[in-house]
Chain A
Amino acid sequence: MAGGLADRPRYAYAAPPELGQDSVRRAPIVIVGAGPVGLCAAAELAMLGHDTILLDEDDTVSVGSRAICWAKRTLEIFDRIGVGDRMVGKGVVWNRGRLFHRDREVYNFDLLPEPGHQRPAFINLQQYYVEEYLVDRVQELGRTDIRWRNRVVGLDVLPDGGARLTVETPDGNYRLDADYVLAADGVRSPIRRMMGLDFKGKVFEDRFLIADVIMKADFPSERWFWFEPPFHSGQSVLLHRQPDDVFRIDFQLDPSADPEEERKPENVVPRLQQMLGPDKPFDLEWVSVYTFTCRRMERFHHGPVFFVGDSAHVVSPFGARGGNGGIQDVDALCWRLAAVLNGTAPAALLDSYDAERIPAADENLLNSTRSTDFITPKNEASVAFREAALDLAADLPFARRVVNSGRLSLPHTYAATPLSTPDGDAWSGGPRPGAPAPDAPVQVAEGEPWLLRRLGGRFTLLRFVDDPAAAALGGVPDGVDVVTVARSGRPDGATVIDRDGTAFARWDAADGSAYLVRPDQHVAARWRTPEPGAIATALARALGRPAAAEARRAAGG
């Protein structure tokens, strides 16, 4: 078989040392679930200097391609943990979506129309490759005790606020205590059920059949979406190219369709032949049927337990918002955990996880629900409006924005986070507080010539100056690195040069402008010219330190 599914790695189980012990070991962080989200958390925490134990009930990577579209923001996070190049090297890079109605193309769109970004809008890469590369990286970083075939079967919250896990292995059960537990255990999250927590929202009747097809075909590296194609009786179809000549094809099914029947090859193959032609040779790699769902937990943070990814929220596909949303969850959480465990932030910083990731989940759910309603119209009026929009879209640009075949994942801006310092100066663009940092090409003394490569993993003051010989900035507190972007001069260490002005423009910067950027590359504060003390105050706020305590701290009290 040409695909990577047949060769997926098996990881060795080893009997955990805690088996048969009376005393219970306490770990700072236990991650449950070695999917992309749990593995990304392990890698991020390792990069931040923290050891973790990662428990997974299985001993291999994902069966089937599952999540395949990895967004620019995820690739930037992968860059930070050192796997971006491998993912992008293997993945199919794409920026363009193409939309068909019946037998004609309605329009196409570029998701990253401007140059000057290291990473594309998306790559397609089977989840089994993403997991394999993340496992390799986590092992290379050497701070994660990955325990395969370790299934969590019990969770109790301890009187001191920690958690006690009961873990089942092939050799019996053991107990393990943790200060913090990251529940990355998927949409059916056993931990969520053990804690008796609800998962609220909408389950739609609509079902889609996913077929991963191995074939030689000249479909371009684009996202193709058909409304009512002639080869699939009035329903919708989505096509994506993956590496190894694997194509993902999603067929909308009637709500009355029987999922067990539909996934049988004798029913799948005729659907594919109608689309590809009767003589096209292909192999089926993986088939699944899924139901559209838009649900989330009321809160993601429950005492010592943080829910991340699908355990916390699940969206309908067609927006690439599931896997990418989960990666952004752990990106928001890990630096907070590290800061609290390092003692640089109070435990209250962890409360802002919900304040940031619940609105992010709601944004994903809203977009996903709207797409679902457009793709699967529920009454005559919605059918008529969809037809109208598709008819008009061929000629009229405004109607293209009405047509909705999925609104593809973009990073969330934490607009209302308590960690941001509101703007006090006038800005006409650039990333506002809470927004993710935009990339730009820069000239560097060494390393990758991209601005985002200089940010992340720690608090950074990004300072823009015309002249690199400008005087050093005062008032930069401990724990904040300075990166200078200069219009001219020679790059040197922490100074990068913005030859063509792209970075200045994207950040709406002038001589003296400065941004405080969080470890997750989101903006905490910005100034035209920082006043003495302003940076320290903004840093304290971004670390969740109460203002009164900060004033005492500043006064040396």
Chain B
Amino acid sequence: MTTLKTDLNLTDADGFYERLIEAHRGLDGPASRRLNAKLVLLLANHVGDAAVLDEALRIARGER
């Protein structure tokens, strides 16, 4: 079974973070939430594996 990668996997963590923040520039709360929601759906579909996604959900909720 595949597990969620929690070691560094981003090739350019600082660059991605900058672009993520930049993508939200000028958006109000609802528009920002919608952008994040689209990102989650796009990336979740890319991952596909339910076990990996469930693990990400648990960690994001602070459940471990």
Residues of A that sit less than 8 Å from B by CB: 380-381, 383-385, 387-389, 391-392, 396, 398-399, 402
Q: Does B57 contact A (CB under 8 A)?
A: no
Contacts of B42 in A (CB 8 A): 392, 396
Chain B residues with Cβ below 8 Å from A381 are 33, 37
Q: How large is the interface on B (under 10, 10 to 19, 20 to 34, 35 or more residues)?
A: 10 to 19
Contact B45 A384 (CB under 8 A): no
In the assembled complex, B38 has its CB within 8 A of some CB on chain A = yes
Q: Main SS of chain A's interface residues?
A: helix
**Neighbour of B34 across the interface among A388, A399, A402, CB < 8 A:** A388
A376-B62 Cα distance, complex, nearest whole Å: 27
Minimal beta-carbon separation of B33 from chain A (angstroms)? 4
Contact residues in A for B40 (Cβ distance below 8 Å): 385, 388
A380/B33 contact (C-beta < 8 A), A385-B41, A388-B41, A399-B41 known:
yes
A384 to B33 alpha-carbon distance, docked (Å): 6
Contact partners of A389 in chain B: CB under 8 A: 37, 41
- Residues of B near A380 (CB, < 8 A) are 30, 33
Chain B positions 8-63 with a Cβ under 8 Å from a chain A Cβ: 30, 33-34, 36-38, 40-42, 45
Q: Is the CB of B30 within 8 A of A384?
A: yes
Q: Main SS of chain B's interface residues?
A: helix
Q: How far is the CA of A398 from the CA of B36 in the complex (A)?
A: 17
Apart from A384-B34, A392-B41: 13 A-B pairs, beta carbons within 8 A: A380-B30, A381-B37, A384-B36, A384-B37, A387-B37, A388-B41, A389-B37, A391-B34, A392-B38, A396-B42, A398-B45, A399-B41, A399-B45
A36 to B: closest C-beta gap in Å: 37
Question: Which residues from A are CB-within-8-Å of B41?
Answer: 385, 388-389, 392, 399, 402
Q: Give B contacts to A, CB under 8 Å.
A: 30, 33-34, 36-38, 40-42, 45
Closest 6 CB pairs of A and B: A388-B37, A384-B33, A388-B38, A384-B37, A398-B45, A385-B37
Q: Report Cα–Cα, A389/B41, bound state, in Å.
A: 7
Chain B residues with Cβ below 8 Å from A399 are: 41, 45
| Cβ–Cβ < 8 Å partners of A402 in chain B | 41
Are A391 and B33 touching (Cβ within 8 A)?
Answer: no
- Considering the complex, give the chain B residue whose CB is closest to the CB of A387: B34
Q: Separation in Å of the A501 CB from the closest CB of chain B?
A: 33
> What distance in Å separates the Cβ of B57 from its nearest Cβ neighbour in chain A?
13
How far, in whole Å, are A70 and B30 apart by their CA atoms in the complex? 40
Enumerate 7 A-B pairs (CB-CB under 8 Å) in ascending A order: A384-B30, A384-B36, A384-B37, A388-B34, A388-B37, A388-B38, A399-B45
Q: For A398, what are the chain B residues with a Cβ–Cβ distance below 8 Å?
A: 45
The CA of A383 and the CA of B37, in the complex, are separated in Å by: 10
Nearest-Cβ distance from residue B37 to partner chain A, whole angstroms: 4
By a CB distance below 8 angstroms, the chain B residues around A388 are 34, 37-38, 40-41
Q: A392: which B residues are within 8 A, CB to CB? A: 38, 41-42
**Cα–Cα distance between A384 and B42 once the two chains are bound (Å):** 14
| Contact partners of B33 in chain A: CB under 8 A | 380-381, 383-384
CA gap between A380 and B41 in the complex, in Å: 16
Give chain A residues whose Cβ lies under 8 Å from the Cβ of B34: 384, 387-388, 391
Task: Name which of A380, A381, A389, A398 has the most chain B CB atoms within 10 A of its CB.
Answer: A398
A389 to B44, CA, bound (A): 12
CA distance A391 to B37 in the complex (A): 11
For A381, give the chain B residue with the smallest CB separation. B33
How distant is A228 from chain B, measured CB to nearest CB, in Å? 13
Question: Whose C-beta in chain B lies nearest to the C-beta of A380?
Answer: B33
Q: Which B residues touch A396, using CB under 8 A?
A: 42
Closest to A399 in B: B41
- Cβ–Cβ < 8 Å partners of B37 in chain A: 381, 384-385, 387-389
| A213 and B33 alpha carbons, distance in the complex (Å) | 39
Tell me which residues across on chain A come within 8 A of B36, comparing CB atoms.
384
- Chain A residue nearest to B38 (CB atoms) is A388
Min CB distance B26 to A, Å, is 17
Q: How far is the CA of A527 from the CA of B36 in the complex (A)?
A: 51
Nearest A residue to B42, CB-CB: A392
Does the CB pair A391–B38 fall under 8 Å? yes
A489 to chain B, nearest CB (A): 46
Bound-state Cα–Cα, A436 to B41, Å: 34
Nearest Cβ on chain B to A107's Cβ, whole angstroms: 15
Chain A: minimal CB distance from B31 (Å): 9
Closest B residue, CB atoms, query A388: B37
Question: In chain A, what residue has the closest Cβ to B45?
Answer: A398
What's the minimum C-beta distance from B43 to chain A, rounded to whole angstroms?
11
Closest to B37 in A: A388
The smallest beta-carbon distance between B61 and chain A, in angstroms, is 12
Q: Which residue of chain B lies nearest to A393 when distances are taken between CB atoms in the complex? A: B41
Q: State the CA gap A556–B38 with chains docked (Å).
A: 68
With A and B bound together, what is the CA distance between A385 and B41 in angstroms? Answer: 8
Assembly CA distance A458 to B45 (angstroms): 45
Output the residue of B33, B34, B37 with the most chain A CB within 10 A.
B37
Q: Which B residues lie within 8 Å of A387 (CB)? A: 34, 37
Closest to B46 in A: A398
- A392 to B38 Cα, complex, angstroms: 7
How near does chain A come to B49, taking the closest CB pair, in angstroms?
14
Q: How far apart sit A399 and B41, CA to CA, in the bound complex (Å)?
A: 8
